[in-house]
Structure 1
Amino acid sequence: MKQRNGSIQQSKLKQAEKLLQRYEMDTWLILTREGSDPSMPLLIGVRSVHQAAIFIRQDGQHLALTSVSDKGNYEGTGLFSKVVVYEDSMEEVFQELFQELSPAKLALNFSASDHLCDGLTQGLFLWLEDVIGAESLSSLEISSEKMLKELRSLKTEQEIERIQQAVDLTTDIYDAVFSQMACGMTEIEIGQLFVEEMKKRDVCNGLGNPYDPPLVCAVRNGLAHRKPSHYQTRPGDIVIIDFSLKYQDYVSDIARTCYMLKPGEEAPPEDIQRAFDTAIEAITQSIYELVPGKKGFEVDQVGRKVIEAAGYPTIRHSVGHQVGRATHDGGTILGPQRIPPRPEVEGVIQPGEVYAVEPTVIQDDGLPCILVEENVLVTNDAPIILSKRQTELVTIKKNQVI
C-alpha cells in the first residue's frame, strides 16, 4: 500500500517539475504545520506535526526542512534529495537554505477563489515575510494556483484506477441498499443501510466523518444538504440519495433518485416520470459536451438549457464539478457565468479530469425533484462514464424493489 501511495506522489511531483518548467518558476515553497495545507496529501503524503518547509524544484532536487520528530516521515517517502532538520527554531536554518537555493521566482499556495489552492495561512505568510524580508518576498512571490489546479485535475493512471474502484464500490452499495429499502423506513434507517454496507467493504464516506450516512432526503420533507431525519417515508414519496465514498484516498460522488409506489401503482405518476426523464436527458447532453477545449460554463449552459426548456426552474447549483482526492476537487467547475467573473467556470476542460455531472430538477412546495449524478472521465476521444448510469427511476414497494 505504501509503495503505491508513494508512486502516485512521485508521479505528481514529476508533473510539478514540468509545470514549473512551463511557467518558468524554479521553486515552489509549501509551508505547513498540523496538516494546514491541503496540497500536502496530494504531493507528499505526510502530515507535519510541527512547522515544515517543502521546496519543490524544477530540476527535481526537492528538499524538506522539518523538525527532528517529523524527519523520519519525510525520509520515508523517498521523494527528497535532502531532508534538513531543525531543532528548536526553524528560522535560522530556513534562511541558510533559502540563500543556498536563491530562487528567482517563488510559487506560494494562495488563491482568492479556490480553497484547495489557498493552503498558505496568514500566520505562516507573515512568518515568511519576517524571515526573508517583506520587500524580498514581494519581488519573488507568485501564486501556485495554476499549477496546483492542474496537478489536482489531471489524474494519473493510478489515480483514475482508484477513482474507478471507488465508483464501482459506490454503485455496488447502491444495489445492495435498493434490495433492502422499503416504504415506511425513515431517512435515518435508509442512511444506516449505507453505513452497514460501507463497513462490510471496509470503506468510508468521502465527506464528513468516516461512517456518516449519505444525504438522504424525502422531497416531501425538504431537499437540502442536511443529515437524514426521523421522517418516515410513505407511498408517493420521492427519495433522493447523494453518496460519496472514499477508497484509498480517492472518492466517488454519485446520486440516485427513488420513488415509493402507492398501492396499486406499477409505475411512477406522469409528472414524476417526466421530471426524471428531463434530468436524464440533461445529464446525457452535458456528458456529450464534456470534451477537451470546452469551457466549464459552456457545458453548464447545455445541461441548464435542457432543464429550462422543459419548463422547470433553472438549476440552483453548477451542472458539475471535479472529483478526485476530494468530493469537490477544485479546478474547473461546470457552472454558470456570473458578474464578477468566476475563474473556475472559465477553466478549459482537459483530458484526465474526472467530473461529477448533475443537472437537477429542483422545485419547491413538494413538486417533483430529481437528482441523478454520474462520474465521467474526460479523454481525447469520447467521455468515459465511470459509473453505472441510472436511466430508470428506482421504484420501491412496501416490502421489495421492483
Structure 2
Amino acid sequence: MTLVVPDPTRTVPLPLRQQADVRDRWLTQRLLDLLPGLMDRAGIDLWVVVGRENNEDPVLATLLPAAWLSARRRTVLVLHRSDDGVTPVAVSRYPVGQYLPGWSPGEGDQWAAVRRIVEQAAPRRIGIDVSASCALADGLSVTEHRALTDALGPWAERLVPAEDLVVGWLETRLPEEVAALDALNRLTDDVLARALSPAAVTPGTTTAADLAWWLHQELADRGVPPWFHPGVTVQRAGVRLRGHGDVALPALPQDAAVEPGDLVTCDAGLASLGLVTDLQRSAYLLRPGESAPPPGLQAAWTAATRMRALTAEAMAVGRTGNEVLAAARASADAEGLTAEVYSHPVGVHGHGAGPAIGRWDAQRGVRGDGDRVLHPDTVYALELAVRTTVPEWGGQALRLAVEEAVVLTPAGTSFLGCPQRELWTVPAA
C-alpha cells in the first residue's frame, strides 16, 4: 500500500473509510497467512477470545473488523486450526465481518454454542488470554473465565494460556503494514520537524508544556491523534541533571521558557490504520551569532548515533531481548560509551507485545519480556540514551535520548521513516 504525501508540511492520512478497507484486507490476510503458523508455533489448536462491551480484551480489537470499535454485548471469537488453515467463528449477537456465524440469540444460550463448537473441533489445547507476565495477553476477565470454564465442562481441562500466541499475533507485521509504518514514521518526523522550528518555538516565550500541547494539537488536527501525550525535555547550561534511581534525568521544569543555548528533545507518537509510531527528535536553539551547536553537543550527538547503530547491529533473529541488551552494552563499553538501552516493540501498541530490550531503570535485563526471542517481520522503537559531558557547559553532564523505528528481518534491521541524521537547530530570534 502506498500512502500519498501531497504536501510534506501538511501530510494527511487516508480517509477513514479507505483506512477501514485497508485494515479489513489486512485482517483477512493475517487470519489466512499469519495465524496458522503462529498457532502451530504456540502449540494451540483452538483460540478463544472473549470480550464484553466496556471491558475489552486488548487483543480483541486486533481481531475485529475496522468498523467494530469495540465488543458488542459479549463477543466471543473462536479460531480453530485445522489442516485447511484457521476457521474463524464469531459467537456473537451480531454478524462479525469475516467470521462465520456460530450463534444467534434465537438458538439458545451463547455459552452452549461455544461448547458445541469446541466439541466439534475436539482440540488438544485451547488457548485463552491469561498471563501473569504480559498484560496484553491477560485480557480474559475473571467473570468470563469462570463462565467459559463452567460452559466447557470436561473440555476446560484443555485450557492453556495463549500468551505466546497473543505475543506472536500482536508483534508480527505484514509487508503492507511495514510499508504503512514507514509512511507513518515519515509523517511523525515531519510533525516533529515543525515542532522544533520557528513554527512552534519562540525562544524566551515558548515553554516545554506549550510545545507538548502544540504537538498534541497538531497531530489531532492532521487526523492522526497521539497515543500518548507528547513529552518535551529541555537541558541547559547551569541546570544539572537530577538523580532518578541509577539514572540522571533533565531537571528544567515544564513551565520554564526555552532559551537560546538550550537542547530540546521531543517524544511523540501518532495512531492511524490501527498502528502507532514512537519517535524522538532533538534540536539545539542557536544563540545569536551561532551557526551550529557547540562541539560538545555535536560530540554527544555523534555518540548517540553510534550507540543507535551498535544497538541495531545487536538485534538479530533468535536472540532474546536480554541477549541483545547485553551485546549492545558490551559494544558500548568497548567503545567507551555510557549508555542506557530501553528499546521495545511497536506496532499495534506503542509499548507492544514482544521482547523488551532493556528498560531505562533495568539495564541488567528484564525478567519475563526480556527473555522473549526476537522474530522476523517485527517492528521496534530503537530507544536509548547516552550520557556525556559538555566542555562548553563547564563540564556539565548531558543525557541525550534518541528513538527511531526499525524493522527486523532475517538479514538484520532496517530503519523506517526518516532517521534523524544530525542534531537539528532552531535559529535565534
Structure 1 and Structure 2 fold alike (TM over 0.5): yes
Q: Which residue of 2 aligns with 1:142?
A: 160
Amino acid at match of 1:66: S
**Residue 238 in 1 paired to residue 263 in 2?**
yes
Task: Give distance in 2, aligned partners of 1:97 and 1:202.
Answer: 41
Q: 1:225 to 1:164 in 2, by over 3 A?
A: farther
* Deviation digits for residues 157-187 of structure 1 (CA, Å, limit 9, x no counterpart): 2211221121011111122223322322111
Amino acid at match of 1:393: L
**Residue 192 in 1 paired to residue 213 in 2?**
yes
Asked if the contact 1:236/1:260 (under 8 Å) is kept, the reply is yes
**Residue 329 in 1 paired to residue 352 in 2?**
yes
Q: Which residue of 2 aligns with 1:367?
A: 397
Q: Which residue of 2 aligns with 1:171?
A: 189
* Deviation digits for residues 254-278 of structure 1 (CA, Å, limit 9, x no counterpart): 1012222334444333443333221
Asked if the contact 2:382/2:405 (under 8 Å) is kept, the reply is yes
Q: 1:314 to 1:199 in 2, by over 3 A?
A: closer
Asked if the contact 2:276/2:348 (under 8 Å) is kept, the reply is yes
SS at match of 1:328: coil
% same residue = 23
Asked if the contact 1:245/1:253 (under 8 Å) is kept, the reply is yes
Q: Which residue of 1 aligns with 2:392?
A: none
Q: 1:340 to 1:262 in 2, by over 3 A?
A: closer
Deviating above 6 A after TM superposition, structure 1's stretches of 4 or more consecutive aligned residues are 221-226, 336-341, 363-366
**Residue 203 in 1 paired to residue 224 in 2?**
yes
Asked if the contact 2:80/2:121 (under 8 Å) is kept, the reply is no
Asked if the contact 1:278/1:306 (under 8 Å) is kept, the reply is no
**Relative to structure 2, which stretch is displaced further, 279-288 or 33-42?**
33-42
Q: 1:96 to 1:379 in 2, by over 3 A?
A: closer
**Residue 107 in 1 paired to residue 137 in 2?**
no
Q: Which residue of 1 aligns with 2:233?
A: 217
Amino acid at match of 1:203: V
| Aligned residue pairs, count | 382
Mapping of 1:42-57 within 5 angstroms? 42-45=62-65, 46=68, 47-57=70-80
SS at match of 1:44: coil
**Relative to structure 2, which stretch is displaced further, 79-88 or 335-344?**
335-344
Asked if the contact 1:282/1:302 (under 8 Å) is kept, the reply is no
Q: 1:114 to 1:362 in 2, by over 3 A?
A: farther
Q: 1:389 to 1:30 in 2, by over 3 A?
A: same
Task: Give distance in 2, aligned partners of 1:295 and 1:21.
Answer: 20
Task: Give distance in 2, aligned partners of 1:344 and 1:235.
Answer: 42
Q: Displacement, 1:370?
A: 0.7
Q: Which residue of 1 aligns with 2:317?
A: 292
Task: Give distance in 1, aligned partners of 2:232 and 2:136.
Answer: 27
**Residue 28 in 1 paired to residue 47 in 2?**
yes
Mapping of 1:1-400 within 5 angstroms? 1=18, 2-14=20-32, 15-34=34-53, 36-45=56-65, 46=68, 47-59=70-82, 60-67=86-93, 71-72=94-95, 74=96, 77=97, 79-86=98-105, 90-133=110-153, 136-137=155-156, 139-179=157-197, 180=199, 181-184=201-204, 185-207=206-228, 212=229, 214-219=230-235, 229-305=254-330, 314-315=339-340, 318-335=341-358, 342-361=367-386, 367-399=397-429
Amino acid at match of 1:55: V
Q: 1:247 to 1:136 in 2, by over 3 A?
A: closer
* Deviation digits for residues 318-347 of structure 1 (CA, Å, limit 9, x no counterpart): 431111111111111222788997232222
SS at match of 1:354: strand
Asked if the contact 2:234/2:250 (under 8 Å) is kept, the reply is no
Asked if the contact 1:183/1:396 (under 8 Å) is kept, the reply is no
SS at match of 1:203: coil
* Deviation digits for residues 331-378 of structure 1 (CA, Å, limit 9, x no counterpart): 112227889972322222222111111221258997312111111111
Task: Give distance in 2, aligned partners of 1:121 and 1:152.
Answer: 19
**Relative to structure 2, which stretch is displaced further, 346-355 or 80-89?**
80-89
Q: Displacement, 1:144?
A: 1.3
Asked if the contact 1:177/1:194 (under 8 Å) is kept, the reply is yes
Q: 1:340 to 1:178 in 2, by over 3 A?
A: closer
